[in-house]
């Protein structure tokens, strides 16, 4: 929405309501990360899903009960996932943001 001309009062839904559920997905909070990001090491992962249940941003991707990756569009880089990973040697490691390949 930023950058485009904002809607006039006639175009806004009545009473200030927001009708499009979950449209905050358009706001990619992944841009908040500046220094570090989590790096997932799939071969070490035991798919306990602890990272998923603790992530404040629901940025851990899970499919059919198995972790499939991290959604960097929304991950804020807090590091909880890495800290809580129970695997010896960690299946998620915090690395510099500059290491991002995608």
Partner 1 sequence: MSNKVALTGNEAVAYAMRQIDPDVVAAYPITPQTDIVQAFSQFVADGKVKTEFVTVESEHSAMSATVGASAAGARAMTATSSQGLALMWEILYITSSLRLPIVMPVVNRALSAPINIHCDHSDTMGARDAGWIQLYSENAQEAYDNTLQALRIAEHPDVLLPVMVCQDGFITSHALENLVVEDDEFVREWAGPYKPDMALLDLDKPMTIGALDLQDFYFEHKRSEIEAMNNAGRVIRAVGEEYGRKTGRTYGFLEPYRLDDAEIAIVVLSSTAGTARPVVDALRADGIKAGLLKPRMFRPFPAAEIARALEGRKAVAVMDRAEAFSGMGGPLFPEIRSALYDTEKKPIMVNYVFGLGGRNTGTRDIKRVYDELALVAKTGRYDRLVTYLGVRE
Partner 2 sequence: MANLKELSAKPEALGCGHRLCAGCGAAPVVRQILMASDKPVVIANATGCLEVSTTIFPYTAWNVPWMHNAFENAAATLSGIEAAYNSLKRQGRYDKEVNFVAFGGDGGTYDIGLQSLSGAMERGHDLVYVCYDNGAYMNTGIQRSSATPLGADTTTSPAGEVIPGKRGGRKDLTEIMIAHGIPYAAQVSPAHWNDLITKAKKAFDVKGPAFINALASCNRGWRHDPSDTIAVTRLGVETCFWPLYEVENGKVRVTYKPRDKKPVVEFLKAQGRFRHLFKPENKHLLDEIQAEVDRKWEDLLRREAQAAAGPA
Is the CB of 6 or the CB of 101 nearer to partner 1?
6
Q: What's the closest the beta carbon of residue 81 comes to partner 2, in angstroms?
A: 9
5: which 2 tokens? 């001309």
- Cα separation of 76 and 30, whole Å? 5
Confirm or reject binding of residue 12 to partner 1 (CB under 8 A): yes
Judge contact between 75 and 57, C-beta under 8 A.
yes
Give the contact letters, 15-34, x = binds to partner 1 (CB under 8 A), - = no.
xxxxx-x-------------
Which residue matches tokens 């449209």? 23
32: which 2 tokens? 């908040």
Query: What does the binding site for partner 1 look like in residue numbers (CB under 8 A)?
Result: 6-10, 12, 14-19, 21
């Amino acid at each position: 929405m930023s950058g485009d001309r904002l809607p006039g009062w006639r175009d806004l839904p009545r009473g200030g309501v927001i009708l499009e559920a979950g449209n905050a997905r358009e706001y990619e909070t992944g841009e908040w990360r500046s220094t570090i990001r989590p790096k997932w090491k799939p071969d070490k992962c035991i798919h306990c899903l602890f990272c998923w249940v603790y992530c404040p941003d629901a940025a851990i991707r899970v499919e059919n009960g198995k972790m499939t990756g991290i959604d960097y569009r929304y991950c804020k880089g807090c590091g909880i996932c890495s800290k809580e990973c129970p695997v010896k040697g960690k299946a998620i490691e915090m690395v510099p943001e500059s290491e991002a390949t995608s």
